[in-house]
Amino acid sequence: MVLGRKAVCGVLGGALAVLLTGCSMDSVIWGSDGSRVIETTEKLIADLAAGETSDLVCDESTANFGNPGDWSSLSPGEPEKFTGKYWKDQAALNPTWSINLEGLPEGATSGDTYPGDVFYRETDGRLCVIDVAWATLSAVG
């Protein structure tokens, strides 16, 4: 019981510190660079789900963005500095960051494809989308 109270106090104390310093929880968890990737991804999702062309796309990107419904109900996951260890197809595109997307488009069924990961390149101090990796839903539920 005492350990539970300490944990709650620690979490509340951390949240209070975040509020008082003006930092977001994303900044505390992922650092300022990771937080920027999350914020950029939130804007990308909003733009594409609304059917808008996003100004976040790199000029040389040939990424498949699908249609607005593909982006509905998605949210940013965990940002990572890019390594070509897992994403060999994207390594030649020279991304700086990758982030997985969480959630599924509304009405998704087994066999549907949806945006699963976004890859960013940092150019002139800004992030731009260089590619999107699509995932296939194997089962629902």
Question: Does position 5 have pLDDT exceeding 80, yes or no?
Answer: no
pTM of structure: 0.79
Token couple for 42: 């939130």
- Residue among 59, 30, 36 at smallest CA distance from 126: 36
CA gap 14, 20 in Å, rounded? 10
What confidence tens digit (pLDDT) does each residue in 34-60 have? 899 999 999 999 999 999 999 999 999
Residue 39 contacts residue 46 (beta carbons within 8 Å): no
